[in-house]
Amino acid sequence: MKIIKRDGSEAVFDITKIIVAVTKANETVEEKDRMTPVQIQRIAESVVLACEKLGRSPVVEEVQDLVEKQIMAHGAFEVAKAYITYRYTRTLVRQSNTTDDRILSLIECNNEEAKQENSNKNPVINSTQRDYMAGEVSRDITNRILLPQEIVDAHNDGIIHFHDTDYFAQHMHNCDLVNLEDMLQNGTVITGTLIERPHSFSTACNIATQIIAQVASNQYGGQSISLAHLAPFVNVSREKIRRDLREETASINIELPEDDFNKVVEKRLREEIRRGVQTIQYQVVTLLTTNGQAPFVTVFMYLGEAKNEQEKRDLALIIEETLEQRYQGVKNEDGVWVTPAFPKLVYVLEEDNIHEDSPYYYLTQLSAKCTARRMVPDYISEKIMFRDKVDKNGKGNCYTCMGCRSFLTPYVDPETNEPKYYGRFNQGVVTINLVDIALSSGGNIDKFWKIFDERLDLCYRALMCRHNRLKGTLSDAAPILWQYGALARLKKGEPIDKLLYGGYSTISLGYAGLYECVKYMTGKSHTDPSATPFALEVMQYLNKATKTWKEKENIDFSIYGTPIESTTYKFAKCLQRRFGIIEGVTDKGYITNSYHVHVSEEIDAFEKLRFESQFQTLSPGGAISYVEVPNMQHNLDAVLEVMKFIYDNIMYAELNTKSDYCQVCGWDGEIEIREADGKLVWTCPKCGNTDQDKMNVARRTCGYIGTQFWNQGRTQEIRERVLHL
């Protein structure tokens, strides 16, 4: 069995350390209050047994909590007091050099928590380590200077989660929709170089990848671009190819029949589209931004954004090529085709592509084929989005998420009276732990709502800290964002403040653990008809709070179904430490994302999507639902049925399958999760390989696909997922 130390590094569990620590505490009390060596041995053995039952590697604090409880269970209260005093003294000593220790453990690559904090960051490489080191310094400054102590304490206790403290010291925002159309059509500036309107599709794609990299280096969340913004350049290339071909044929005195001439033009155009799309895919996969990872970018595929029929046909060509290349995948270092994490693809289901007789149904069929093999694209229903995203003019809107799931709220530009989405952004997130509210109430419903109000007020103050940190930021802090079109065209030296108010940008109140909250308060899953009304009441309470804040501050507070990738483990550990193990509530190494049905609950795909749709509607700041499916490559009809169900019933959803490869034996089936020495280990079922550096594993964990493995809590959650189809 392993144990995770305070600096995040991993070590072999040593029972003798418990015996030595308790013995030392035992020796400090009067002889009449001391325990016998046999009692101390039993305490140590009981702690080991409790740790083994966790099904994951415990952290030092959890072990010490168990030791305290066992000492008191033996009635040795004076010894317990001595042990607690010693523990407190050591904590004070450690506080002076915690940051130094964590940074050193990062450099030496033995920080287990940091290694698994982000499933798309490789912690071994220098650029990631540099980002993590800077993050530790930022986190230290944030906790000691920038945030009120009550917010820091609430974050550390798992009552709330103040996201991205490793970036908070800087004036940076979260997610955004890049206004690629403005930058390509009107030109931009990248690191002091003027980039004019491109004269071909392939050049437009190349510029787009440079913009993606620059944007990713100036914010910390996900970003999205639309293929519709590239579509006009298809015709630019078409006309250029036509001119060139006219010159070629004239130079050798050949006149092609018009049909043959057009066929040659379209063939060359297809090749340029192939090269352009390949540029985007390979550049995004191979780029490393300043934070040591590939850009968290989503590519939006929506035929409805085309401005005319010719542009729609050209956009369809780009979408088709994008899906074909993603279906193929990318080659790993051994030359084997594997599933890349990025870019994430989002495909809109609409009347033009959802029915068998729709003109673009072939794209939907190709999407199903790609999803079955590579887990993308994910799906937005134009029909449901038009219903749920209605602006002040009464018009429904369809647009992409910012990154993996964060959504803007409807907005009409006061100058043009037209809807606007590209160029907008999210200021940041604070997540409320719903499970902690329930447990703190002890099941008393009146106390529950009282504590809920207190925690919401805490979140409001934390979110205002995020807002005020951005307030006053000058456009010079990130010229690509604020001056050169990605988000705005502000003047040099101009503050970004006007973009923080009036609904132009959002700021998100996240929530986590609705399932466990309802389970504790009602004794039932929120899918039970008798418990669902309470779950919906909780969601409506969250929305009521953000509405009040919005009216007070003129800031667009919005409810966000938090993905809590690594926080799921942190929240679970904090709950266990404070409330112990409660069956069905705190007995896992994770808590459930947002409103999701618990991963182990038996429910079919269609019922799950139907049930979760009502909660998605109450998460206007973003959320995504999923269904867990087996290998569907030979059952595309079933995939298409799920996609059609999404179109009619839920705004945003995805299908989760598996896409693995063992570099040792060539196994391309599912890499399994097995338990070894008290730890969950990824294992090849064919050859037994457990070396994560010699396997490719792709799993969806929070909207994005992760490929760099996960902490023990998230790994347990992945292992316990049941199939919905």
Cis peptide before 343 (omega within 30 of 0): yes
Active-site residue flag, 503 = no
From the list 62, 112, 136, 565, the catalytic residue is 565
Beta-carbon contacts of 249 under 8 Å, excluding residues fewer than 6 positions away, are: 255, 256, 261
**In terms of DSSP H, where are the helices of 173-332?**
180-186, 201-216, 232-251, 258-286, 309-328
Other beta carbons less than 10 A from residue 155's beta carbon: 23
In whole angstroms, give the CA distance from residue 487 to residue 214: 12
Q: For 459, phi and psi rounded to 5 degrees?
A: -65, -40
Q: Is 102 exposed, middle or buried (0-12, 13-18, 19+ CB in 10 A)?
A: buried
From the list 404, 539, 632, 695, the catalytic residue is 404
Active-site residue flag, 426 = yes
In whole angstroms, give the CA distance from residue 212 to residue 225: 8
Cis peptide before 630 (omega within 30 of 0): no
From the list 406, 433, 508, 613, the catalytic residue is 406
Single-letter code of the amino acid located at 1: M
CB burial of 677-714 (b: ≥16 within 10 Å; e: otherwise) equals ebbbebbbeeeebeeeeebbbbbbbbbbbbbbebbbbb
- Whole-Å CA distances, 255 to 243, 244, 263, 265, 267: 14, 14, 14, 14, 18
Look at the block and give the residue holding tokens 């009552």. 159
From the list 426, 475, 525, 613, the catalytic residue is 426
From the list 560, 569, 595, 626, the catalytic residue is 560
From the list 8, 561, 703, 706, the catalytic residue is 703
Active-site residue flag, 402 = yes
Look at the block and give the residue holding tokens 């509607």. 617
Tell me the β-bridge partners of 544: none
Single-letter code of the amino acid located at 207: I
Instruction: Report yes or no: 534 and 449 within 8 Å, Cβ to Cβ.
Output: no
Active-site residue flag, 175 = yes
Query: How many Å separate Cα 725 from the centre of its chain?
Result: 24
Instruction: Report yes or no: 136 and 166 within 8 Å, Cβ to Cβ.
Output: yes
DSSP-derived letter for residue 622 is B
Active-site residue flag, 560 = yes
| Triad 518, 522, 524: Cα angle to 5° | 75
| Triad 581, 586, 592: Cα angle to 5° | 170
From the list 402, 459, 465, 695, the catalytic residue is 402
Instruction: Report yes or no: 514 and 615 within 8 Å, Cβ to Cβ.
Output: yes
DSSP string, 674-707: EEETTEEEEE-TTT----GGGEEEEEESSSSEE-
In whole angstroms, give the CA distance from residue 531 to residue 325: 45
From the list 175, 301, 370, 662, the catalytic residue is 175
φ/ψ region of 164 (left if φ > 0, alpha if ψ in -120 to 50, else beta) reads: left
Single-letter code of the amino acid located at 168: F
The residues that are catalytic are: 174-175, 402, 404, 406, 426, 560, 565, 703
